[in-house]
Amino acid sequence: MAYNVSNATGVICSLIDANNNQVYLAVFDKNYNLLGEYTSDDVSNISSVLKNYSDITFVGTGSINYKDTLSNIFRNAKFSTNNNQHSSNIGKCAFEKYKNGYTENADTVLPMYLKKSQAERMKELNG
């Protein structure tokens, strides 16, 4: 989704709404380079991830659904109006990775889980 933002002057924060005030996020520079780890957290806690950035453009479903909360936390935040995932952007991202020598065999690709499912967390909590 960061590729949806073409005029960023600072960082791009891609937010996917995970419901229950939770978001998945990643921070990219204006050249679409990932600046840290992918993160999953409560939307009110993401200021700790973004504390070193003052010029932030938010993009994605999380930026739409939590715009009021984000605007209160980040007073100078900008918000993209193009918040859908596009297959053309996935292609751009894949091509950039390929040009940089990153390749992956389709038989070895595995999902990247950022947190345990709610059922697993509840089981651990309740024993």
- Is 2-126 assigned to CATH 3.30.70.420? no
Q: How is residue 22 annotated by DSSP?
A: E
CA-based nearest residue to 22, from 46, 48, 41: 41
pLDDT tens profile 101-119: 988 887 887 777 777 777 8
Share the mean pLDDT of the chain: 89
Pairing of β 22-28 and β 78-79: unpaired
Q: What is the C-alpha to C-alpha distance for residues 57 and 80, in angstroms, rounded to an integer?
A: 7
- Contact indicator for 23, 17 with CB cutoff of 8 Å: yes
Contacts 24+ apart (CB under 8 A), 25-31: 25/49, 25/62, 26/2, 27/53, 28/2
Q: How large a percentage of the chain has pLDDT more than 90?
A: 50
Mean pLDDT over 90-101 rounds to 89
**Cβ–Cβ contacts within 10 Å for residue 84, how many?**
10
- Contact indicator for 26, 16 with CB cutoff of 8 Å: no
pLDDT tens profile 15-37: 999 888 889 999 999 999 999 88
Q: What are the sequence ranges of the domains in the chain?
A: 2-126
